[in-house]
Amino acid sequence: MSPIESRIDPASAEFKANYSAMEALVVDLRHELQRAREERADKARARAAGLGKLSVQQRIDFVLDPNTPWLDLAPLAARGLYDGTIHGAGIRAGIGVVSGHEVLVVANDPTIKGGALFPLGVKKFLRCQTIAMENRLPILMLVDSGGAFLPLQSEVFPDHDGFGRVFCNQARMSKMNIPQVTAVMGHCTAGGAYLPAMSDHVVQVRSTGAIFLGGPPLVRAATGEEVTADELGGAEVHCRESGVSDYMAQDDAHACEVIRDIFALLPRERPPGPARDPRPPLFDPAELWGIIPARLSTPRDVRELLARILDASEMLEFKALYGSTLVTGFGHIHGYEVGVIGNNGVLVSESARKATQFIQLCDRQGIPLVFLQNVSGYMVGRDYERAGIIKDGQKMVNAVATSTVAKLTVVVGASFGAGNYGMCGRAYDPRFLWMWPNAQIGVMGGEQAAQVLATVKNEQRAREGHAPLDAAELEALRRPILESTAREGSAYHSTSHLWDDGILDPADTRDVLGLALALVQRSPRSDHGQGYGTFRM
């Protein structure tokens, strides 16, 4: 393969301006991540410490192998929602290494509303289970939760994707022979009691861990019986009498030791390693800060991004002279072979046909796909409609939806309209999807939305015999649309609502993709059979 030729001048004024703009975004991102990890009420911290509990971060650190990678999952979920303090939707989650095994860890945070489950906390839990099932990852649950947040119980409990779905997934994971280990380090109440009951191994901490369908207040209200949490569902009860729990731990630190012992005894599955030895890019990934324009409307060559992500900056570009608004090619990331698909403008028919063929080739050869999204959508207009942009876009969307190889998506700029679909947005089941802090997502950009609505309004006024909007009226219409699309299309809005798996510092993208590619080797293809549906010719 030939290395990608870079035309970037790090000494240029444009590079420096872009670098400063991205640096500000990354500084904000790091601040938000720190808040999510550390901002807790002093009273909640003191209460947990008084009970002898480790913090969530300490629990995770005690369980993980030292000096091994950790891939955070949706750390900013629920940011700015509820009362603004339900950091990470009340759950810390990520993928790390436990006794030599890659493990997906889900941990309640008892210093956030007593570990109560909020609607987005349930959504995050379900997303973690999906990742575990798709990639055949063992799952470790560190439970410390007072149960559903009752004021929002209607959004937590009854629907298809309510908390009951967690237990349905547990049963299916068991059938798939995916190990599940639960450590009960605090309360595990009501329906949540089925988390340990449906696991392969259950560790319960003495004195602080308690499992029951109905807690002491409910028992008192229902039967009049006075009973403590420990008497009702403590470790002595479930390890000696009921058999719900398998291992009694004296405290959190001891529970972490037992967890590590359990994982050490699990059979070791060795997924395929890299196709070749990893080689760093010829160009520093940190230069991505200076390459990404401060304005989404400013064009940039996606090859410059790939030159700082791919091993040795090498790519065998597929159909380089055809469908130039999309770049497709073969390369490696940390030694793993990939097919890359990156936007270089709006999607036209030639681009869509090229993508379809490339996806088919990668699917046939078993090569994972990496999508770099920066797309305003598919091209519109009379000539493009007559040339068949709809049927060509249909081919591309069909190929993305039905391909069986693992897909990874990074939104590096815009993600608008049907372009989101064709470039493997969330609805098309990428194994992982991340945003860059400058990214925006929506049906269309704010300027386009404002212009469309202004046109519709003027057409309506014309039918009614009124004059077009004057400048003041037009501005009054445009301003709220621009503000709402900027707010609701931002990377933070996306990640808060769990439309993605997290916001990345662009300079970390190569390493994060390398971790993800190592994980997807555990299950390189989806379960549905190879082949495609009908391509509209």
Q: If the chain, 537 residues long, is cut into consecutive pieces of 10 residues, what is the mean pLDDT of each piece?
A: 95 97 98 97 95 96 98 98 96 98 97 94 98 97 91 88 94 97 94 91 96 89 91 96 97 98 92 94 98 91 98 98 97 98 96 97 96 94 92 96 97 95 97 98 83 87 89 87 86 97 98 98 82 74
For residue 446, the model assigns a pLDDT of 77
On the 0-12 / 13-18 / 19+ scale of CB atoms within 10 A, 68 is exposed
For residue 529, the model assigns a pLDDT of 65
For residue 222, the model assigns a pLDDT of 87
**Contact present, 96 and 129 (Cβ < 8 Å):** no
For residue 268, the model assigns a pLDDT of 86
Give me 472's structure tokens.
Answer: 């003041």
pLDDT in tens, 250-268: 999 999 999 999 999 999 8
Residues whose CB falls within 8 Å of the CB of residue 268, separated by 6 or more in sequence, listed in order = 100, 101
Question: What are the CB-based long-range contacts (under 8 Å, 24+) for 317-321?
Answer: 318/354, 318/358, 318/361, 319/354, 319/357, 319/358
For residue 312, the model assigns a pLDDT of 98
How many whole angstroms separate alpha carbon 349 and alpha carbon 351? 5
For residue 147, the model assigns a pLDDT of 87
**What's this model's pTM, rounded to 2 decimal places?**
0.94
Provide the 8-state DSSP code for 117: B
pLDDT in tens, 53-84: 999 999 999 999 999 999 999 999 999 999 99
